[in-house]
Amino acid sequence: MKNLIFTLFLLAFCTFKGIAQCADVIVSQDGNGDFTSIQEAIESVPANNDIQFIIYIKNGVYDEKLYFENNYITLIGEHRDSTIVTTAELRRVWRETHTSDWGAATVNIDNSTTDLTFANMTIRNNFADVYPDFPDNNDHTFAIRGGGHRIIILNCNVITTGGDTLSLWNTDGGMFYHNNCYFEGYVDYVAPRGYCYITDSDFYGYNDHASIWHDGTGGEDHKFVIRRSVFDGVPGFALGRHHKDAAFYLLDCFFTDNMQTSQGINWTGSEALSWGHRYYYYNCHRSLIDFPWMYDNLEEATGSPEADEIDAFWTFNGEWDPESQLDGLLPFAFLPYPRNGEGCSGITPTLSWTTGNCALSYDIYLGDSPETVEFIGNVESNAFSPENLEEATQYFWKIDAISSTDTVQGQVWSFNTGSNNGFPDQVFNPVPGDGENYITNITKLDWDYLSCSTDSFYIYFGSQPDQLALAAIQKYPAYFSFSAQDDSTYFWRVDSKNDLGITEGQVWSFTLNPTVNAIDETQDQDKNYFETVFPNPFTSKTHLSYSIPDKGIVEINLVDTNGQIVQNLLQKSQPAGKYNLTIIPENTLPKGVYFCQIYHKSQLADTIKVVIQ
């Protein structure tokens, strides 16, 4: 699973040529740069540096520790997954011969250091992989350890085989900003002290104690804010804990079903807290029904902030705006406004983005689906106002950064225009899709909506389209508490509501049809080969994990509801072990229900249902 989440926010288009032209020095292991080691480049920065010094690092595995005692240094990797800084160090072992943690991490930051940026690279400490037989080898294993102030980590993988992966500890007002990152480790693997803001990132944990941890003893306004992020881990992984005063804000976060069902954030300290238990949530959900502890409660926080107030600038009390400093740090356009998939922008929006490194202009693409974005123009600035947009419509757009030597393709984003009258817009994209035939029972009904115009839903359900009964009134865009019989057609409708009124939705239908027996999901097998598939349903790709009990030929196919193979996904000999597979369906496949079937030694071993929406 740990490789799966890499692809959730992975920008595979991160290869580029021109960025080196805009760096102060270049590090390349083949000798074609200014230095062959990253630490040598760091030591070349002038003493008492007070302007940003950019070090560009070409692809390679750099087995070295980095030490930062100077300010205003930016490290930019050539490729997020191929520029790797790594070491194998266990804190416990290090401290046997050293009096402090200085040197116990891959990246070591002095307490007085300010204004460091790490972009587009992997920072790793893989002690347990290198020393698999060492006792308690998943103990404190720092990838990044230190104090520092105004530390940015952007589009990076930060990984260890132990706890305390990312440990930036500065209770004297330290401020830390992380965007579009992947964090992996054991207990407390993201553990800031001071102020920390993380957005659009993925977390994967290997323990049942805690993924995140915070120390806010430096001041009542110290806080740990996480937005638009996904938490996953081994079955039974835990969300968070704290031993001291702390404040957690989690907004627009998704938790997989592997998370344990107990309290989200746990206090495990022994001394009384000065400011109480402060855990705040907004719009956080699971793929199944939500737990009571994750319900919206921002009104209980100091000042009762609205969700749209809580950003990096707010987190840092107006003292630092890191998102104003991100221009030119990545080779591609980044951080779109409006934020991807959020809000209603109206029919005359101004689209903007952070600039790409060395970009001279930008090609703009726009369309009504991710697959049909078309070129509509080129601009030299990082803003554009499209024309002739329609109300209550979802649009998709892409920005390609053009430099003197390269074109770096951008990610496809979306925005919604909303309606001008202020009433809620209709919900859309139902799952199951309208008129779908489902082989087996379904666990939930869900839909998409424009969050800027809707605050709750009225769900109607029944066996006749003109005799629907009100089933629920709720805020969450999914409905679970319904029963349905095999070989039956059901109808449902979701009305959207806001303060101005209610907008009636379309009537949709689905049919449960188990008489189609080409697929059998309940085969009598001794072992379960498939473990997880996430996300599911999915649009463009999903990630499958499976296990093989012994060596043999493995074949995985995607089949339709008639049992016909529509796409071969894998066919190779594999030894016993656990594996991950990214599924990218062919463009010709229609939306609907499919099944992944795994054959081991020419025998059908397991089947799992997937839904393309």
Q: Kindly tell me if the per-residue pLDDT of 514 is higher than 70.
A: no
- Write down the pLDDT at residue 73: 97
**pLDDT average, residue stretch 222-251:** 96
Q: Determine contact, residues 74/119, Cβ cutoff 8 Å.
A: yes
Cα–Cα distance, 529 to 48 (Å, whole number): 57
Read off the pLDDT band of 182 (50, 70, 90): very high
Cα–Cα distance, 538 to 592 (Å, whole number): 10
Read off the pLDDT band of 517 (50, 70, 90): very low
Q: Kindly tell me if the per-residue pLDDT of 520 is higher than 60.
A: no
Read off the pLDDT band of 500 (50, 70, 90): confident
Tokens matching residue 259: 């998370």
What's domain 530-612's architecture?
A: Sandwich (2.60)
* Mean pLDDT, rounded, of the chain: 88
- Write down the pLDDT at residue 115: 97
- Write down the pLDDT at residue 21: 54
**pLDDT average, residue stretch 131-140:** 96
Cα–Cα distance, 583 to 89 (Å, whole number): 35
Domains 6-321 and 530-612 share a fold: no
Cα–Cα distance, 296 to 268 (Å, whole number): 24
Q: What is the pLDDT of residues 264-318, one digit of tens each?
A: 999 999 989 999 999 999 989 886 677 889 889 999 999 999 999 999 999 999 9
- Write down the pLDDT at residue 540: 80
Query: In the CATH hierarchy, which fold is given to the domain comprising 6-321?
Result: Pectate Lyase C-like (2.160.20)
Q: Kindly tell me if the per-residue pLDDT of 13 is higher than 80.
A: no
The partner residues of 510 in beta bridges, in order of sequence, read 436, 490
Question: Which of the residue ranges 240-249, 326-335, 420-429 would you say has the lowest mean pLDDT?
Answer: 420-429
**pLDDT average, residue stretch 514-527:** 47
Cα–Cα distance, 359 to 38 (Å, whole number): 25
- Write down the pLDDT at residue 589: 86
CA distance from start to end of the chain? 23
- Write down the pLDDT at residue 12: 32
- Compare 396 and 565 and report the one with higher pLDDT: 396
Q: What is the pLDDT of residues 354-410, one digit of tens each?
A: 999 889 999 999 998 888 999 999 999 999 999 999 887 889 999 999 998 889 999
What's domain 428-512's architecture?
A: Sandwich (2.60)
- Write down the pLDDT at residue 523: 46
- Write down the pLDDT at residue 440: 56
Secondary structure string (H, E, C) spanning 429-485? EEECCCCEEECCCCCCEEEECCCCCCCEEEEEEECCCCCCEEEEEECCCEECCCCCC
The fourth-level CATH superfamily of domain 334-416 is: Immunoglobulins (2.60.40.10)
In terms of average pLDDT, the best of 87-96, 482-491, 519-528, 563-572 is 87-96
- Find, among 154, 158, 143, 238, the residue nearest to 200 by Cα: 154
- Find, among 301, 236, 289, 241, the residue nearest to 265 by Cα: 241
The domain ranges of the chain are 6-321, 334-416, 428-512, 530-612
DSSP category for residue 257: T
Q: Kindly tell me if the per-residue pLDDT of 259 is higher than 70.
A: yes
Report the percentage of the chain scoring pLDDT > 70.
92
